[in-house]
Structures are given as C-alpha cells and as structure tokens.
Amino acid sequence: MGIELLSGVLLLCILVSFALGAPVGFALGGIAMAVGYATWGEGIFNILPNTFEATLFSFILLAIPLYIYMGQLLTRSGIGDAMFNASQLVIGKVRGSLAISVIGVCSMIGAMVGIIGAGIMTSGSIALKPMLDRGYDKRLALGVIMAGGGLGILIPPSVPMIMFAASTQNSVGKMFIAALFPALLAIIVMVAYILISCKMNPDRAPLGTGAEAKMTPKEKARTLRDGFMSVLLIFAVLGSIISGIATPTESGAIGVVGAIILAFFFKRFRLGMFRMAGMETAMLVSVAMWIILGATLFSNFHLLMGVQDMIAGFTKDLGLPPLGVIILMQLVMLGLGFIIDEFIIVLMCAPLFTPIVVDLGFDPIWFGILMILNIEIAVQTPPYGFALFYLKGIAPPDVTMLDIYKSVTPFILLKLMVLVICMLNPDLVMWLPNKVMG
C-alpha cells in the first residue's frame, strides 16, 4: 500500500471511530495497531515499548501533572477565586473584565510553562470555573482558556522554540526575544476581541452580581489582600525559574508546595480537599497521557511508513514566489497538526523547511516564530487537536465537543490574523531581537 493510500485509510478510520464516540487515545492506539497489523504484520507491535517508555519517561511532560496539581489545589482551596475576586473589585465595572484578567493569568502561566498541554490544563483548572460561576457565556470562557493557554509555547520559556533553534542552529535567546512582540500582539488582539464582543453581546459577560459593591471596606481590603497573596504565588514560581532555583518543569512542584502553604495561610486546608485535588489531578493526567500515548503510537506508525517523505518531496521545485512558498509551508504545518503533536512538527519541519526559507532570503528566526504561531493554531483546529482534547478534559461534563469546536473558532481566526501580520511584516518580529542581540 502506498503512503498516500495508507494515509487516506488512517484518516478514514479516525473519522469513523471519532463519529462513534470512541475514547480518542484508545482509538488512535487501536487503529495504529490494527492497520499496522494488516499492512506490516505482527512486527509492528514492537512499536509499543519504545513509544510507552519515551512518553512515560519524558521529564518535560512532568510539567503536566505538576502544574495541573497546582491549579487544582488553588481552585479547590478557593485561592484561585481570591485572585479573580480581587481583580473584579478593581476592574469589575468593565464588561468582559474577568475574561481579561484570565488572559492576564494565562500570560503569567505561559511564562512559567513551556509546553501546550501544561498551559491549557493549568489555565483551565484555575480560570474556567470563576468565569462559568459568574455566568459568562460558555463558549467565550472556553475560547479564552484555549487561546490564553496556548501562550505557554509563545511566551518564553518554550520547549518547541528550544527544539527549533537546536535543529536549525539558531539562537534560542534571540528566538525567545523575537517571540515577545508576537505574544504581546496576540494578547492585545485577544483583549480587544473580548472587549468588542462583550460590548456587542452584553449577555456573554454579565457585569457581576453586585456582590463587590455590597462589600464593607474591611471585606474589600481582605479580598484585595487574598488576591495579592495568590498573585504573589505566581510570581514566586516565576521567580524560582528566573533566579535559577528550579527548571521550568520543576517549578511546578514549587507551585504545588506554595499552593499548600497558601491554603494553610487562608485556613482553607482540609484533608478532603487535598485528597480530592490529588484524585482529580490523577484522573486528568491519566486521561491526557493516554491521549498522548495513543496519538504518539499512531504518528510513530505513520512515520515508520514514510509520511515524512511525502512532505520532504513536495517542497522541491514548486516554482512559487518566495512568499507563496512560506504560505504553502504554513498550510502543510496546519495540516500536520491534524495528526502529529507539536514536538514532532518542529522536529520534522524545522530542518526541512528552514534551509529553503533561508535560501529565499528570509530570516530563520522569523520563520521559527511563524512555525510556533502556526502549531499553536494547528493543535487547536477541529476536528483533531491535542489542545481541544485537553480543554475537553478540564471542562465540566456538560460541555460537549461541539461547544469546544465552536468556542475556539473566533480565537483561531485571531491567531491566524497574528500569524499573517507577522508573516507580512518580518520587521515586527525581528526589530527587538536585532536591537538586543545584533
């Protein structure tokens, strides 16, 4: 069977099993093993040990349990609420202000974590409930989490950026700095969208129950203090990374310890709460990781069959204008997001595409930033995307996949806009790094 036909068969199997409502991770693993058995024979089963070992022994992925645990502890002890209560006290009169505070919190989480899964699931753990509790439109709330959580790989530190720089021999530091303007642009665009959309549809973001207005000055002071303390935790975690106490992955454990200390400080620590936070985290982590296991198995099988040759082959001799080549590459990466995770996209496409781009006279760092913006979109584009599944995992049970698909659409368009702006104006990306690092 040719690779084109095989890819078609695999896609069809995905669509059918998804339509039947199969659990994503198990379906992907099952399809890979079944189609593999039919085309390759029993030998394909040997793909399992390496996939399981490499995934479950990946230190980078420990950010997922640690940060989700921190998020769960903050939420279940009510400390997460303190943060948003305080923000409502300050900017509560602006429609959509809570969503804007959430973007702010997501940006800070983005500055702590370096992978998409940790970004979205942590942001979701902390910030989804406060928005839903205050009667925010479900889709707006979910979209904000998805968009904000994606900042995890756009704001440094970022594992995909480190991988891009390494596989194309470019400066990590320069790339981190180059990402700052696109990240800022993405944040501004999202905030603007929230403000405008809430102005046009006031129902999406109710203005609060007025609880803040009825507070006595003493209660207000207390709310502000609590909010301040919880923001302090986030700064402590950030500080532990910046000051060299812990790596971005390890800092999640600092966050966990900090959240427990805060819970004691707020007199909110209960053994039951602690136990439930552990259980909920364990469940979320298991669910997320079985998706990663199944999907990795699936993409490993597809790669062993040679899907990468399809991509390697097509970029040669296209006869397109330079910008056309760049656009085509973006489309290919968006397409790859359909089946392959963010790390493999970088690992595969960075060394393949970057030399071509450099030959055409473009800056490799700029192209790397486009790639990061691109995979951020690719992993949240329906029907198949890790970010979508992570978000469903963290959302309340009554949220359906259709809700999620619909919720991400406007934010995907916004991110596409950021991508296009950065693509057409390389100077916007490169001005700061060139100024700082020459």
Partner 1 sequence: MVKKIFISYCSWIDRLVRFIGKSVSVLMPLLAIVIAYEVGSRYLFNQPTIWAQDLALFFFAYLVGLGGAYAYQKKTHINVDILYLAVSPKTKRIFDVLTGILAAFFMFVLMMIAYEKFGEALQFNYRKMSNWAPHTHHFWMMLVISGALITLQISSNMVKDIYYVIAGQALISEPEEEDTEDGN
Partner 2 sequence: AEHNWRFANLYSRGTAFGEVYGNMAENIEKMSGGRISVKMMYAGEGVSTTGILGAVKSGLITMGAHFQPMNAGELPAGIVEVGLPGGTADVAKLSVLFHEDGWNEVLTRAYGEQGLVYLDPYIQPPVYLLTKKPINSVADFEGLKLRAPGAYGKFVRNLGASPVSMTWSEIYTGLATGVIDGSIGSNLIDHRDGNHVEVAKYMYRLPLAGAQVLPVVVNQKAWNKLPDDLKAIVKAATTIHAREQMTKSRLWEAEAIADMEAKGMKWSPEPSEADKAAWKKAGESLWDEYAKADKFSAELIEILKKQQ
Q: Which residues in this chain contact partner 2 in the complex, by CB under 8 A?
A: 43-44, 46-47, 49-51, 53-54, 58-60, 114, 157, 159, 162-163, 165-167, 169-173, 241-249, 300-301, 303-304, 306, 308, 312, 343-344, 347-348, 350-352, 354-355
Residue 278 C-beta: closest distance to partner 1, Å: 4
User: Residue with structure tokens 């204008």?
Assistant: 321
**Which segment (40-48, 121-129, 223-231, 416-424) binds partner 1 by CB under 8 A?**
40-48
Q: Is 149 in the site for partner 1 (CB under 8 A)?
A: no
Q: Which two tokens stand for residue 173?
A: 């530091």
Q: Count of residues binding Na ion (CB under 5 A)? A: 9
Q: Count of residues binding partner 1 (CB under 8 A)? A: 70
Give, in order, the Cα–Cα distances in Å from 72 to each of 45, 75, 148. Answer: 37, 5, 18
**378 exposure class (CB count in 10 Å sphere: 0-12, 13-18, 19+):** buried
Q: Is 401 in the site for partner 1 (CB under 8 A)?
A: yes
Q: Is 337 in the site for Na ion (CB under 5 A)?
A: yes
Residue 238 C-beta: closest distance to Na ion, Å: 11
Nearest CA to 227 among 94, 113, 67, 92?
Answer: 92
Q: Is 155 in the site for Na ion (CB under 5 A)?
A: yes
Nearest CA to 344 among 368, 316, 375, 369?
Answer: 375
Nearest CA to 380 among 421, 334, 345, 311?
Answer: 334
Write down the H helix ranges in 77-179: 79-91, 97-110, 116-133, 138-149, 151-154, 159-168, 172-178
Q: Is 24 in the site for partner 1 (CB under 8 A)?
A: yes
**CA 267 distance to own-chain centroid:** 33
**Which segment (28-36, 116-124, 335-343, 416-424) binds partner 1 by CB under 8 A?**
28-36
The smaller minimum CB distance to partner 1, of residues 44 and 429, is found at: 44
**Which segment (172-180, 266-274, 414-422, 429-437) binds partner 1 by CB under 8 A?**
266-274
Nearest CA to 104 among 190, 179, 26?
Answer: 190
**Which segment (16-24, 116-124, 127-135, 430-438) binds partner 1 by CB under 8 A?**
16-24
Distance CA 111, CA 311 (A): 33
Distance CA 348, CA 11 (A): 20
Binding pattern to partner 1, positions 271-310, x when CB under 8 A?
Answer: xxxxxx-xx-xxx-xxx-xxx-xx----------------
User: Residue with structure tokens 């056309």?
Assistant: 324
The smaller minimum CB distance to Na ion, of residues 65 and 110, is found at: 110
Which of helix, strand or coil describes residue 50?
helix
The smaller minimum CB distance to partner 2, of residues 242 and 283, is found at: 242
The smaller minimum CB distance to partner 1, of residues 16 and 196, is found at: 16
Nearest CA to 25 among 306, 423, 374, 292?
Answer: 292
Instruction: By CB under 8 A, name the one of 166, 212, 250, 432 that touches partner 1.
Output: 250
The smaller minimum CB distance to partner 2, of residues 189 and 246, is found at: 246
Distance CA 270, CA 146 (A): 31
Residue 276 C-beta: closest distance to partner 1, Å: 5
Distance CA 29, CA 176 (A): 35
Question: Phi-psi category of 44—alpha, beta or left, where left has phi over 0 and alpha has psi -120 to 50?
Answer: alpha
Distance CA 178, CA 197 (A): 30
Q: Is 26 in the site for partner 1 (CB under 8 A)?
A: yes
Residue 3 C-beta: closest distance to partner 2, Å: 11
Q: Interface residues with partner 1 (CB under 8 A)?
A: 17-27, 29-31, 33-34, 45-46, 48-49, 52-53, 56-59, 61-62, 65-66, 69, 76, 78, 240, 245-246, 250, 252-254, 256-257, 270-276, 278-279, 281-283, 285-287, 289-291, 293-294, 383, 389, 392-393, 400-402, 405
> Interface residues with Na ion (CB under 5 A)?
110, 114, 152, 155, 158, 337-338, 381, 385
